[in-house]
């Protein structure tokens, strides 16, 4: 079944000019780019987006990082988009990353991990609504 998923290209990858590379990789893996938005998270919007991590030890560092620069949001579609995108993105833990994943190619660490991908169809719907509220 065709699904939608959200991919955020985080400030570290944007600063290093990896946006085009990451989009190309998603397209080469069968994703269709439906919408794209360039944005700058403020503290409030980052806190709303990452509310599921509130109270965790990395939460404040994550918010600081996400507010540190430009983010590019992609609304992607394909069959089994959520699972396939998570597989393509790779693990947040550098020790667990497979070599041909986006994070293996472009991430600098655990927090500075180049991209975010929705982890479930329910999360995708919520996240797409937050990022693209008011339309595409």
CA nearest to 66, candidates 48, 89, 85, 84: 48
Q: Reply yes or no on whether 116 is catalytic.
A: yes
Among 18, 21, 29, 116, which one carries the catalytic annotation?
Answer: 116
User: Burial letters for 47-81: b for 16+ Cβ neighbours within 10 Å, e otherwise?
Assistant: bebbeeeeeeeeeeebbebbbeeebbbbbbebeeb
Contact 112, 12 (CB under 8 A): yes
Sheet with 70-79, side-by-side order of all strands? 32-40, 70-79, 2-9, 115-117
- Quick one: DSSP state of residue 115? E
H/E element holding 42?
A: none
Which residues make beta-bridge pairs with 77? Answer: 4, 32
Catalytic annotation, residues: 116
């Amino acid at each position: 079944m065709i699904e939608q998923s959200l991919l955020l290209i985080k400030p570290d990858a944007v600063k290093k000019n990896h946006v085009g590379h990451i989009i190309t990789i998603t397209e080469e893996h069968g994703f269709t780019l439906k919408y794209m938005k360039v944005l700058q998270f403020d503290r409030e919007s980052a806190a709303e987006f990452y509310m599921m991590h509130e109270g965790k030890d990395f939460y404040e560092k994550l918010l600081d990082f996400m507010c540190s620069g430009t983010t590019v949001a992609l609304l992607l579609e394909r069959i089994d988009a959520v699972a396939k995108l998570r597989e393509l993105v790779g693990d947040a833990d550098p020790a667990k990353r497979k070599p041909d994943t986006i994070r293996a190619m472009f991430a600098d660490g655990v927090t500075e991990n180049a991209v975010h991908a929705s982890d479930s169809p329910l999360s995708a719907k919520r996240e797409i609504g937050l990022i693209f509220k008011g339309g595409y």
